[in-house]
Structure 1
Amino acid sequence: MIATRIGTKLRGLAMGAVLAGSAAVMATPSMAEDWSGQVTLYGWGAGVTGDFTPFSGAPTLSFDKSLSEVLEDLDGAFFVTGLARRGDLVLFGDYTYSASSRSGVVGGAIPAAGELTIQSLTLAGGRRIDVGGGGTLDVLAGLRAWGLEGSVTSPVANLAPEQSFVDPIVALRSLTPVSDRVSVLAYLDVGGFGVGSEFTWLGTVTANYQATDSVYISAGWRHLYVDYAEGGTAFEGAMTGPVIGATLRF
């Protein structure tokens, strides 16, 4: 139910992101080549870390920051990325889902339980640069659409606010071959700039093994941060943790 409600919001936000991402790459020259692409699905051992205030005057729910406690709070997390390329034209997409829950005591004596579900959809486009030795660097710009749904339940209040917003982002994505079958992929973007959130950034590093001509296995680490406050709802925190996934190239 949570994923369905936020997913409906993100579909509307995604339309604007698609248009902006397309505009960002219309001026990018590309060679007369066929399209190629890839899709990667990851399992993500990432819970929410940070502080969440669902409503002005409501208790703040803090999620733990050690990895063992993060995984204890975690209800579920995954993400999927996709990339399409023609010549030096690159289109990139990323969808993230994470749900965490926490219970404890707030205000020194009030028992409370809370849940926080975060979804994000990143769409960007830009240009690929050949850096030599088989390595590439993608320079990208686009948008990240967010959906936040939280709840805090206590003897004094039951609150369940929802927020959606869109951030502009700029990004770099690099691929570095290590051997014939092993490579390292690094991705970093920054955004927000007070447009949607105050600030957001996403970083991912994975080691990748080519199992077949079209299938790759990856493992690494991913961290997604956002600092957002609007209408009494505030969240400053991140989803962070190890990832393992599989990529299909076509």
Structure 2
Amino acid sequence: MIDRKYPLSGLAMLLASGCSLAQAGDTGWATELDIYMLGANIKGDSSMGRITGAPVDIDFGDILETLKMSFMGRVETMYDNRWGFWLDYAFMDLADKKTNARGGVVKAGLRQGVMEAMGVYRQPLTRGHVDYYAGIRWWDNDIDATVNPALLPGSREASISEDWVDPLVGARWTHVFNKRWSMTLRGDVGGFGIASDITWAAAIGARYRINDSLDLDMQYKGTWVDYSNDKKGKPEYFQYDTVTHGPLLGLVFRF
């Protein structure tokens, strides 16, 4: 249980355990934690070192087969139904091993973390509210690859670690149908050439209130990023132009 008098304790709980969308009460602080899963599909292309334009086409089934570890959670807290903030962190650790027709072995590992930190201003409506938000989206990618061609002794290895921060602005509209059901539309845009050339996110979803302390969160979400570190032709070159999309299912705990 989070003490409402000390909203920063919600941050500590996020770092320890996880979290999502908050709908604040009439007065004081109100906080919600959401543990969720994203059925991610990743489409686009990526470049690493002197290998450019490699297609990225990973569906949810591939991710389940190669997943080593995953964590997805969110915390949001609001004060007097007007001002607040949220933190959202999603992490996946994937590893795969394949053998080609000549007996060569290819091993690859991808560790990707994406964190959002947003400040929120809420405008109440008759049956819901509009949230205007601004903040950052931090991307953290580590990629390792080992190739043993089988025809020659030894193996070749490559790895790259790249992280960047994109500024964002966006809005989120929530409409309340009744005591049980509500729906949400969200969209934001960022990057602006500061880190990524451009990035955006969009989501549509519904929430069902199970009881006074627990909601079911159902969404479909997409996030696109077009990033390059401007080191083309060098071993440390990294380019990432992908969209990650899929259904999201979470349990939201209200305090």
Normalised to the residue count of structure 2, the TM-score between the two structures is 0.73
Q: CA RMSD in A?
A: 2.7
Aligned counterpart, 2:243 = 238
Aligned counterpart, 1:8 = none
Structure 1: tracts of 5 or more residues without a match: 1-31
Q: Is 2:47 the partner of 1:53?
A: yes
TM-aligned CA deviation for residue 115 of structure 1: 3.0
TM-aligned CA deviation for residue 143 of structure 1: 1.2
Aligned counterpart, 1:212 = 211
* Pairs within 5 Å for 1:1-250: 33-55=27-49, 57-58=50-51, 61-64=54-57, 68=61, 77-87=70-80, 88-101=82-95, 112-133=106-127, 135-154=128-147, 155=149, 157-230=156-229, 231=231, 232-250=237-255
Identical aligned residues as a percent:
24
Normalised to the residue count of structure 1, the TM-score between the two structures is 0.75
Residues 208-235 of structure 1: CA distance to partner in whole angstroms, max 9, x if unpaired?
1111101001222222221111131111
SS in 2 for 1:237: strand
User: Contact 2:137–2:168 at 8 Å: present in 1 too?
Assistant: yes
User: Contact 2:180–2:208 at 8 Å: present in 1 too?
Assistant: yes
Letter of the structure 1 residue corresponding to residue 133 of structure 2? L
Letter of the structure 2 residue corresponding to residue 161 of structure 1? I
TM-aligned CA deviation for residue 77 of structure 1: 4.7
Residues 118-164 of structure 1: CA distance to partner in whole angstroms, max 9, x if unpaired?
2111111131011222x111001111122111123324742110011
**Are residues 150 and 237 of structure 1, via their aligned partners in 2, closer, same or farther at CA, if it must alter by over 3 Å?**
same
**Are residues 77 and 173 of structure 1, via their aligned partners in 2, closer, same or farther at CA, if it must alter by over 3 Å?**
farther
**Are residues 43 and 249 of structure 1, via their aligned partners in 2, closer, same or farther at CA, if it must alter by over 3 Å?**
same
Moved more, 60-69 or 194-203: 60-69
Rg larger in structure: 2
CA distance in 2, matches of 1:245, 1:82: 12
Structure richer in helix, relative to its length? 1
